[in-house]
Amino acid sequence: MDELRDLADRAVTYAAGRGAAYCDVRAEESVSRTISIEDSNTEYIKERKDAGIGIRIAGESTWGFASISSPGSFAQLRQAVDSALEASARKSKNKIRLCNVNVAESESIMPVLKAPEIESVMELGQDCSKIISDTPRIRKSAVSVLHMVMSRYFASSEGAKIMQNYTDLTMEMAATSHESGLTQSVNTTEGGRGGMEVLDNARAKAAEISARATELLDARPAQMQKGTVVMDPDFVALLTHEIFGHPSEADRVLGKEMAWAGGAWWKGMIGEEIASEALSVYDDPTIPGSLGCYNYDEEGVGTKKTALVRDGVLYGHMQSRETAAVFGVEPTGNMRAAGYGFMPLVRMACTCIDRGDYTPEEMVREVRDGYLISGMKIPSIDMRRHNWSISCQYAHKIKDGKIGEMLRDIIVSGTAPEFFKSVDACGNDFATRPITNCGKGDPMQSLMMGNGGPSIRGVATVRSI
């Protein structure tokens, strides 16, 4: 990494010498290992190493960008810088304005309490697969582990020099049951930013999803009903991601994503009431262990907790230096890229609904006729993040304050404004969850991040597919 770091510094100096008004360079080095286990058999172990540099240069009205993998010399890197300079000279009607920021020099390593050695990771994966496979009526178990070590260096013509190092460890597990022509599947993703400690609950989760998958064979579908729903923290994490997080990205609000990813229904509504007083939402890259935990973003902006909704009032958006200049606010540290080969975009880090003071039991006890919704599955959201539909792993009927029979193949849907205003309780059981594959941009950038929240209670439509 020392060589890449030196090349990055030289690239900044060279670009400034060629007349670049602003230039930043990101150098990265990563090692990732993927392990796939099916029915207690190791299918494959893949290791991938990558290194490279991305150069971003601001012209008067256009960004220039170029990247290079594993540059062997500055002469090779210089060609990439020249390419970015040439692209930045193109003209358009919009002018680039960047918000001023504190210029930082920093080095950090995210903590790893228990090193994820290959033997330990393999043993854990095999144990989880066996737990699932040994459960009666389970036909298939699937476990996939991703371990990645990343070093990222950021340098800018303003004088920033920032080195960040972190380790990610995630495990995706699926239990599939089958009986009498009916197949059911329950899955989960565990882990975060850190070492083996972020998977301390993996064996318990393997037992839980396999038990739920078998119980679903005896569950019935639900009739369509609009009513009270109590959503658990895992389901809430995906809900928050889709109908709070994405429309809070300032580039979407400005319409810059409309052609391929959509916009935000609350454009121009800062300061207006868009939800009940029970709802407050924020994005926070400083939450330890979250896949969206980092100290500086891809523009060298220091991270902080950013309020998006306060007591039901739309308060702010996630901002880059460029969008912040448009809105007349400070950047929030949310510019992220999938790697050195991509331009950074405004992205979530760890967007969460704030905790309340209800226990989950209290929330259920007050429901006369409704549903307990458990576990995230698949979302379907319209272009403005207004209409939403998200399937869950399973649900239970609530009758007279008591949890009743299990229900299968459940989809929960509603409109964002109506649902937000229906929320009357947030729990004290706050949790963050790993989101391992969120796509945005053209070309598409897939990022890992965190999302979270407590159990919440509101009104939505529940049905089985």
Q: What per-residue confidence (pLDDT) applies to 91? A: 87
Of 361, 358, 357, 302, nearest to 332 (Cα)? 302
- In this prediction, residues 404-412 reach a mean pLDDT of 98
Of 310, 311, 307, 113, nearest to 319 (Cα)? 307
| Cα separation, 358 vs 307, whole angstroms | 22
The three-class DSSP label of residue 453 is strand
Q: What per-residue confidence (pLDDT) applies to 94? A: 86
The three-class DSSP label of residue 404 is strand
Give the pairing of strands 425-426 and 456-464.
antiparallel
Cα 459 to chain centroid distance, Å, stands at 25
Q: What per-residue confidence (pLDDT) applies to 327? A: 97
pLDDT greater than 90 at residue 261: no
The three-class DSSP label of residue 121 is helix
Q: What per-residue confidence (pLDDT) applies to 230? A: 99
Q: What share of the chain is helix, strand, coil (3-state, %, to 5)?
A: 25, 45, 35
Contact 24, 154 (CB under 8 A): yes
Q: What per-residue confidence (pLDDT) applies to 361? A: 98
Q: What per-residue confidence (pLDDT) applies to 93? A: 83
332-381 pLDDT, tens digit each: 999 999 999 999 999 999 999 999 999 999 999 999 999 999 999 999 99
The dihedral through the CA atoms of 196, 200, 201, 204 has a sign that is positive
- DSSP per-residue letters across 347-403: --SEEEEPP-SB-HHHHHHT-SEEEEEEEEEEEEE-TTS-EEEEEEEEEEEEETTEE
265-319 pLDDT, tens digit each: 999 999 999 999 999 999 999 999 999 999 999 999 999 999 999 999 999 999 9
pLDDT level of residue 427 (50, 70, 90 thresholds): very high
Of 337, 297, 282, nearest to 450 (Cα)? 282
The percentage of the chain sitting over the pLDDT mark of 90, rounded to a whole number, equals 95
| Cα separation, 305 vs 385, whole angstroms | 23
| Cα separation, 217 vs 185, whole angstroms | 10
Looking at the DSSP assignment, which residues form a beta bridge with residue 408?
Answer: 221
Contact 428, 447 (CB under 8 A): no
Write the burial class of residue 76 (CB in 10 Å: 0-12 exposed, 13-18 middle, 19+ buried): middle
The three-class DSSP label of residue 295 is coil
243-256 pLDDT, tens digit each: 999 999 999 999 88
Q: What's the chain's length in residues?
A: 465
Backbone angles phi, psi at 311, to 5 degrees: 50, 45
Write the burial class of residue 94 (CB in 10 Å: 0-12 exposed, 13-18 middle, 19+ buried): exposed
Of 65, 127, 370, 330, nearest to 225 (Cα)? 370
List CB contacts of 4: < 8 A, sequence separation 6 or more: 27, 28, 29, 51, 52, 53, 71, 153
Q: What is the mean pLDDT of the chain?
A: 97
pLDDT level of residue 72 (50, 70, 90 thresholds): confident
Q: What is the pTM of this model?
A: 0.96
Question: Where does 244-328 show beta strands of DSSP type E?
Answer: 281-283, 306-310, 313-314
- In this prediction, residues 35-59 reach a mean pLDDT of 97
- CATH numbers and ranges of domains, the chain: 2-218 (3.30.2290.10), 220-464 (no CATH)
Contact 388, 370 (CB under 8 A): no
Using CA atoms, how far residue 17 sits from 147, 161, 310, in Å, is: 40, 18, 46
Helix (H) or strand (E) holding 78: helix 74-88
Backbone angles phi, psi at 52, to 5 degrees: 175, -175
Q: Measure the CA dihedral 186/436/421/284, to 10°.
A: 140
DSSP-assigned letter for residue 301: P
